[in-house]
Structure 1
Amino acid sequence: MNERSETLQRWIARQHALPFDACPLDDVAGDASFRHYYRFRLPNGTQRVLMDAPPEHENSQAFVDIARAWRAARLPVPALYAVDLEAGFVELEDLGDDVMHHHLGDDADARTWFERALHLLERLQRQAPCDDLPEYDHALLARELDLFPEWCLTKLLEIPVPPSWPALRESLIDSALAQPRVAVHRDFDAMNLMLHEDALWLIDFQDAVKGPISYDLVSLLRGRYRLWSQVHMAGFIENFRQRAQEDGRLPPIDADTFHHQVEAMGVQRSLKVLGIFCRLTLRDAKPRYLERLPHFLAHLRQGLAAVPAYGEFLTWIDTTFTPALCRELDRRGIDHPLEERIS
């Protein structure tokens, strides 16, 4: 046990007026951030989860505020039982270990689960208050996009930024800002949807913002656990458009325009993810994230191909970026099947 986990154990023992030895912690998991999670059991058998989020690295205030606001809005988020923002400790309801991505078997199963997740997304967009959330504005969208040339092109691959980049960057930002604004989870992904009491629950929402209606849609559809065909993508997007117009989340918009907005949002997110994974490798010494680059490159290619105006950048991806990435992955001994099965 290290010093911080011992401090956490003493903290939770005090919360429940228990001796230190009565609150052993079981390591649950960490994630791409500095947060770490533990599970412990109360004397009556009830299990709880402890989040350790070092305050010098993580903003627990945002997590706590959003958890309370969304739970008050009758959204499925874990209850908070104790909070110490100065220490970075939070005691949470235990939702178990059953995550949506465990259930994505064949195509039929995956479609069923994705449709369940999209119904939850509708609830989130209709019910979650968003006026107090940070704005997903031009500056934030730009910072996210700039991760790609900084970390992926310059620092990992050491290749120049293509001439088509500035126009693509501004086009993606403009498309995002043109959309209706809703509460955006920002990592609405099969890994962050827990199956608890036969329902999907939201976790890992501390980075939520007020932003484009399509962001969480593509976060799910172009996430790390599925590579949908363009036909399936078009079906998901059109169904979302029709339901969002019916319940007022989306004003009247023709199918082609909305489809292009969604795919452009997916391009923005894929570029951001590629940049983040390179940063995790180079700055944070987590090279396993390089193994995910081919999957998100496939997402990026599909998104670019769906918007004719992005053809020049897609050509650069195929002729310059992909060969450079292959060489780097080969150099590091990482398998890179860039032609993934399209479901």
Structure 2
Amino acid sequence: MAVDMTPPAGARDFLRACGWGEAEILPLAGDASFRRYFRVVDAGRSAILMDAPPPHEDPRPFLAVARWLTDRGFAAPKINAYDERQGLVLIEDFGDSRMREAIDEDPDAAVSLYAEAVDVLVALRAHPAGDWRPYDRAELQREAALLVEWYCPAIGLEVDVAGYTAAWDKVLGHAEYDRAVTVLRDYHAENLMLVGQQRSLGLLDFQDALAGHAAYDLVSLLQDARRDVDPSIEDAMITRYRAATGDGEAFMNAYHVLGAQRNAKIIGIFTRLWQRDGKPRYPALCPRVWAYLERDLSFPVLGPVAAWFDANIPPELRGDPLVLAER
């Protein structure tokens, strides 16, 4: 189902009220949610119009996290104007240069760009978490359950749901944290912009931030659902991160547990986006996510969860749910 990129009815009045009344409104993108984005251009200046329509979307978390980040020196978009009733937000335009395309155009830049992204995470963990909800065991279990709630039924597979929950309960203790950090939760190459002449990293899509384990965003970056990350780069960036932080084996256990949890969640979400929301492009990303998941499951710390997968989802049923459902 194509996203309707007609500007929202109240956009022109909103722009007029904040000094952009004559701006041209150009469709930019929709995403996996109900949010849509437009670029507004006027007399050599530009900004981004976010359409986050209530009741489906609430832009207030985005505003809160953006302000928290900019107050601490991180490159989140500045907020120019906001209409709470309509869910319209006018934000700084970071341009079109994303980390993903920069690497696609120049693969030799991958190491330096991933290193910069890792360094942002090292800097982020130096700050106590913001006043966000905790990324606790209950939340991790709820997210992991998306795989058995959506993926398994989609391919006609009945599984041991109680056993799945029990298996995760045996390993999630490794993801508990003594000191929470702000976890942006969708930290990857499509949400990292190269901004300005210095091409420093700008942050996007952080409205779902929680207070949780520092390993989560590192997994999000290095086990990217939308592009292949060479295992040698993953290893090098983990080494870089640990050299800066002094993290030991407990951190690596958390990394693999959170990697498996995140990848199971994503498989469920991508299936839901197809089945519930009519977005059939997402299932094709699942084979890559399964590969990440299986790699994490190979580590001893994931033994109980790996055993559940071996008993419930045969290797030939780990893939694109849309293709498997049509068999």
| Structure 1 and Structure 2 fold alike (TM over 0.5) | yes
Q: 2:219 aligns to what?
A: 218
Q: 1:202 aligns to what?
A: 203
Q: 1:174 aligns to what?
A: 173
What secondary structure is seen at the aligned counterpart in 2 of 1:78? Answer: coil
Distance 1:2 1:167, change over 3 A: closer
Q: 1:50 aligns to what?
A: 49
Q: 1:136 aligns to what?
A: 135
- The 5 Å alignment of 1:68-147 reads 68-105=67-104, 108-127=108-127, 130-147=129-146
Deviation at 1:326, TM superposition (A): 5.2
Deviation at 1:315, TM superposition (A): 7.8
Q: Which of 287, 306, 309 in structure 1 is aligned with 2:299?
A: 306
Deviation at 1:177, TM superposition (A): 1.6
Q: 1:5 aligns to what?
A: 8
- The 5 Å alignment of 1:180-191 reads 180-191=179-190
Q: 1:274 aligns to what?
A: 267
Quick check: 1:181–1:210 contact (8 Å CA) kept in 2? yes
- Unaligned runs of 5+ residues in structure 2 are none
Looking at structure 2, the residues matched to 28 and 85 of structure 1 have their Cα atoms a distance apart, in angstroms, of 21
Deviation at 1:329, TM superposition (A): 4.4
Distance 1:17 1:206, change over 3 A: closer
| Aligned residue type for 1:58 | E
Looking at structure 1, the residues matched to 26 and 321 of structure 2 have their Cα atoms a distance apart, in angstroms, of 38
Looking at structure 2, the residues matched to 288 and 73 of structure 1 have their Cα atoms a distance apart, in angstroms, of 37
Deviation at 1:311, TM superposition (A): 6.9
| Aligned residue type for 1:274 | I
Distance 1:214 1:17, change over 3 A: closer
Deviation at 1:115, TM superposition (A): 0.8
Looking at structure 1, the residues matched to 159 and 217 of structure 2 have their Cα atoms a distance apart, in angstroms, of 31
Looking at structure 1, the residues matched to 23 and 215 of structure 2 have their Cα atoms a distance apart, in angstroms, of 43
Between 1 and 2, higher relative CO (CA 8 Å, sep ≥ 6) is seen in: 2
| Aligned residue type for 1:216 | D
Deviation at 1:331, TM superposition (A): 5.2
Q: 1:341 aligns to what?
A: none
Deviation at 1:88, TM superposition (A): 0.2
Distance 1:277 1:31, change over 3 A: same
| Aligned residue type for 1:213 | A
Looking at structure 2, the residues matched to 188 and 15 of structure 1 have their Cα atoms a distance apart, in angstroms, of 31
Q: Percent identity?
A: 30
Quick check: 1:156–1:278 contact (8 Å CA) kept in 2? no
Deviation at 1:139, TM superposition (A): 1.9
Higher relative helix content: 1
What secondary structure is seen at the aligned counterpart in 1 of 2:281? Answer: helix
Looking at structure 2, the residues matched to 126 and 239 of structure 1 have their Cα atoms a distance apart, in angstroms, of 16
Looking at structure 2, the residues matched to 36 and 4 of structure 1 have their Cα atoms a distance apart, in angstroms, of 9
Q: 1:238 aligns to what?
A: 239
Quick check: 1:136–1:210 contact (8 Å CA) kept in 2? yes
Q: 1:250 aligns to what?
A: none
Q: Aligned pair 1:284/2:277, yes or no?
A: yes
Deviation at 1:317, TM superposition (A): 4.7
- The 5 Å alignment of 1:57-68 reads 57-68=56-67
Output the TM-score relative to the length of structure 1: 0.85
Deviation at 1:175, TM superposition (A): 1.7
- The 5 Å alignment of 1:20-39 reads 22-39=22-39
Distance 1:9 1:332, change over 3 A: farther
| Aligned residue type for 2:19 | H
Deviation string 1:155-211 (CA, Å, 9 cap, x unpaired) is 444331377523431134222124641010000111110001110010111001110
Output the TM-score relative to the length of structure 2: 0.88
What secondary structure is seen at the aligned counterpart in 1 of 2:243? Answer: helix
Q: Aligned pair 1:297/2:290, yes or no?
A: yes
Looking at structure 1, the residues matched to 108 and 18 of structure 2 have their Cα atoms a distance apart, in angstroms, of 46
